[in-house]
Each structure stands twice: as structure tokens, then as C-alpha cells.
Amino acid sequence: MKIMVSACLAGENCKYNGGNNRNEKILQLMETNEVITVCPEQMGGLPTPRIPSEVKSGVVMSRDGRNVDREFRTGAEKCLEIARRELPDLIVLQPRSPSCGVKQRYDGTFTGTLTEGAGVTAELLMKNGFRCIDVEDLEK
Ligand code: SF4
């Protein structure tokens, strides 16, 4: 199977705080499948580490009040380009991220409050017909 994954799940230090979300299930998948890693926020031109961001009323804003929507959407478009070229059977993403979250994301208030809805990359990929799941739903 060909699988696209959030790069932080594969152990890449691309998370906003310079760390990663290394996940054993993803590492196992990498042993027996073709895995493509993407980090839409880095691909959109944002540095690592970076100020965390959330989606508020459809616009991505950083915690210090900057509009980073363009960078997030550029990264999402680049992921879509890769998906169209590589045609992954499945896309496994980091939950609750403003880019990668599939089912939920933070609500834009920076209070740790979750809301229904995907991050901008997951949303774009799903709108274009790609099957995306949060890594925590991988075994279901
Ligand atoms: S944008 Fe996605 S891949 Fe990059 S650090 Fe955030 S959750 Fe991980």
C-alpha cells in the first residue's frame, strides 16, 4: 500500500515546538508499505519552531495575532499536488492539528477547546476525494 503521513508522526522534528509526534503504529507501517511524509506547515514556508496557530472563523491565525492563512493554504495545496501525483491509498494524519486534524481541531480561542471540523490540509485532501484518517483511528 502507498500511504501518505504527517511527517511529525514519522518522527520528524517539524512540530511547532521543534519536537515530533513519533508514533509506533506509523513506524511499523513504514516497514511494510511505501510511505510518503509531508508537513504542510513547513511546506507553506513556516519556520520550525513556530508560534502555534488555530483556525478561527475559517482563517488561520497564530497565537500572537498574525494572519498565517496564506502559508497554511499554500502548504495544503502542495500536499494536494503530491497526493495527486502519488495517489496514496490512505492518508494518516496528526489529530487536532490546524493543518492535519481530520475530525477535530482547536476552536481558535487558544484555550484548548476542541471543535468539530478538519484542519486546512485534511479538509482540502478530503474535498478532493482522498481518504484521510486521524492516526488514533488507524486500528478501527
Ligand atoms: S503540520 Fe501536520 S505534519 Fe506538520 S507538524 Fe503539524 S501536524 Fe505534523
Residues of the chain with pLDDT under 50: none
From the CA of 6, how far away is ligand 1's center (Å)? Answer: 6
Phi, psi of 5 (to 5 degrees): -135, 155
Pocket test for ligand 1, best of 3, 4, 5, 8 (most atoms within 8 A of CB): 8
From the CA of 3, how far away is ligand 1's center (Å)? Answer: 16
Within the chain, residue ranges assigned H as helices are 24-32, 40-43, 69-86, 120-127
Give 102-107's long-range contacts (Cβ < 8 A, gap of 24+).
102/126, 102/132, 102/133, 102/134, 102/137, 103/134, 103/137, 105/54, 105/55, 106/54, 106/55, 107/54, 107/56
Distance in angstroms (rounded) separating the CA atoms of residues 55 and 2: 30
User: What's at 128, amino acid-wise?
Assistant: N
- What is the separation, in whole angstroms, between the first and last Cα of the chain? 17
Q: Which of 3, 2, 5, 1 is nearest to 97 (CA)?
A: 5
In ligand 1, the atom with minimum distance to the C-alpha of 97 is 7
From the CA of 21, how far away is ligand 1's center (Å)? Answer: 9
Pocket test for ligand 1, best of 20, 94, 125 (most atoms within 8 A of CB): 94
Q: Rounded to two decimals, what is the model's pTM?
A: 0.97
Task: Output the pLDDT for position 140.
Answer: 57
Pocket test for ligand 1, best of 5, 16, 17, 21 (most atoms within 8 A of CB): 21
Residues with beta carbon inside 6 Å of ligand 1? 6-8, 14-15, 39-41, 94, 97, 99-100
Task: Output the pLDDT for position 106.
Answer: 98
